[in-house]
A and B are shown apart, each in its own frame.
Chain A
Amino acid sequence: MSRVGLRGFAIGYLALILIAPLALVTYRTLFEGASQAWHALRDPNTIHAFQVTLTAVVIAVPLNTIFGVICGLAIVRRRFPGKGLVNAFVDLPLALSPVVVGVALFALYGRTGWFGPFLGRHNIHVLFALPAIVLATIFVSVPFVAREVIPTLREIGNDQEQAAHTLGASGWQTFWRITLPSIRWAIVYGVVLTSARCLGEYGAVAVVSGSIQGKTETATLRVDDEYQNLDLSGAYAIALVLGLIAIAILLLMSYARPKEQRA
């Protein structure tokens, strides 16, 4: 088990499984189909798809951030019955197939679902419309902020908060001035992960949105759509844009990463 041998294996494996495929796609899109790619991106349906994705991200990320911080605080600093269950439910989207998420939303908002009749009577469209996409996106990105905040809160302990209390700070003042600043990097990292997840969501929105061009397609669904329609350059173009955003996110992740995981 020599050092160089292991190193070689690791690098080789990563190169083969990860790096080579990505390099290939980048090359193909940029050098072989640049003009077609550009044309495909100007397609109004594609632009609309990006807008839909953006809407979902802009709604889901702040909501889940607030939820994640509150949840993290509750789980680490308070006792209440059913805490373990709450913890499990927060983690669930991580282990759950996105398609199952989509089906679950169907079961809730579909015509035969729990809310179905109510929604039908008031002519509110959830499924096959924007609300479903947003809901699906929120669901799958719930865990990330909470899962970063929780270990950080645990590690810090509540000494600083106690000190603040003895110095006269109210609960709210303590939260704003002491607690929040001490977890800010965990929140940043969590937000980055959440955004990445929202951007890349496919399975759940595929189920609930109906992929109606120009109306309920997200960027990821559009990639699939273009591919099915044999517009490969279009598909690759969108994929490249998403990929570039992913790399930007990656850089942010490396920057904000918690200490122990730095190489």
Chain B
Amino acid sequence: MVALPIAALVSSSTEQGASGFWQVVSSPEAVAALKLTLVVAALVALTNAVTGTIIAWVLVRDEFRGKGFLNSVIDLPFALPTIVAGLVLLAFYGPHSPVGVHLAFTRTAVYLALLFVTLPFVVRTVQPVLGELDLEMEEAARSLGADRFTVFRRIVLPNILPGILSGVTMAFARAVGEIGAIVIISTNLPFRTEVASVFIFNQIASGNTSGAAAVSVVLLSISFAVLLLVGGIRRYATGHERV
């Protein structure tokens, strides 16, 4: 079910031969799209690494009214259709925005849209790890004289790092592939705000199947790489525990 279409995809991308593949992939428009995609996705992933961890920390370690509400709200980007998210963001950041910004159709818009869509990833991978962290480890460190910052840096962080990393990589993959939330807010100006997924869409809409397939394969490889990375992180983390 999954394997067959993928296989067909790869073969289709090589229809025009290796040079045909390269031609599409290295065309200026494609390169620009890929570059934009990767850069923004990386920025989003990094932002999430920090904000996601902070949010997870607050959710696990802090108590306040409305925490349950916040915890549920975090899943909204998971549950919401991406195009709806796009519309919502347009309303908020676009021409009629109450906040007075006019960020639609800019690269920042792409960044913000992806931030919305990837919000849950790091939070949800860090939360369980943080929750299971043995508080006694931190207490032991404190009794040995470590201050709060050192405890975080040397005790907490190494233990939640696998969680952060896997959340970050999944967020990155999602950001690279996102289309629904972006398609509305960025109008996809080639070379300016066109991301790889939109580029592919345009290719196939204009009948250039193998061209679309070629760039798709690039994204596919990134996806596979991400999966391998996450699997590796998972293996490292559990090996780490069986000390």
Q: Which residues of A does B touch, CB under 8 Å? A: 1, 3, 6-7, 9-11, 13-14, 17-22, 24-25, 28, 67, 88-108, 110, 112-114, 138-139, 142, 193, 196, 199-203, 206-207, 219-220, 223-224, 227, 235-236, 239, 242-243, 246-247, 249-251, 253-254, 260-263
Contacts and interface: CB of A to CB of B under 8 A. Distances in A.
A20 B36 CA distance: 27
Given A96-B220, A108-B8, A139-B5, A261 B54 contact: no
A246 B227 contact: no
B72 A251 contact: yes
Contacts of B216: 97, 99-100, 103-104
Interface of B: 1-6, 8-9, 11-13, 15, 51, 54-55, 57-60, 62, 64, 67-68, 70-84, 87-89, 91-93, 98-99, 112, 115-116, 119, 124, 127-128, 131-132, 148-149, 152, 170, 173-174, 176-180, 183-184, 196-198, 200-201, 204, 209, 212-213, 216, 219-220, 223-224, 226-228, 231
A102 B177 CA distance: 12
Contacts of B173: 94-96
Contacts of A196: 78-79
A231 to B, nearest CB: 12
Interface of B is mostly: helix
Smallest CB-CB A-B distances: 4 pairs: A97-B177, A200-B81, A107-B12, A202-B180
Given A202-B183, A263-B71, 4 more contacts: A21-B89, A22-B88, A250-B79, A261-B128
Contacts of B132: 260
A37 B164 CA distance: 42
B8 A107 contact: yes
A18 B4 CA distance: 38
A92 B227 contact: yes
Contacts of B81: 199-202, 219-220, 223, 239, 242, 246
A144 B231 CA distance: 17
Contacts of B54: 6, 9-10, 13
A193 to B, nearest CB: 7
Contact of B200 (A1, A10, A100, A242): A100
Of the candidates A13, A139, A247, the one having the most CB atoms from chain B within 10 angstroms of its own CB is: A13
A240 to B, nearest CB: 8
Of the candidates A110, A243, A251, the one having the most CB atoms from chain B within 10 angstroms of its own CB is: A243
Contact of B75 (A9, A108, A227, A254): A254
B115 to A, nearest CB: 6
Nearest to B67: A263
17 contacts: A10-B59, A21-B91, A94-B173, A95-B177, A99-B216, A103-B213, A104-B9, A106-B209, A107-B11, A108-B9, A200-B80, A202-B83, A220-B83, A236-B87, A250-B73, A250-B79, A254-B75
Given A10-B54, A263-B59, A200 B68 contact: no
B170 to A, nearest CB: 7
Contacts of A263: 59-60, 67-68, 70-71
A137 B219 CA distance: 19
A223 B183 CA distance: 12
A127 B195 CA distance: 25
Contacts of B4: 108, 114
Contacts of B15: 112
A7 B179 contact: no
Given A235-B87, A254-B72, A207 B204 contact: yes
A235 B127 CA distance: 36
Contact of A239 (B59, B67, B87): B87
Contacts of B220: 96, 100
Contacts of B3: 89
A115 to B, nearest CB: 8
B1 to A, nearest CB: 7
A203 B2 contact: no
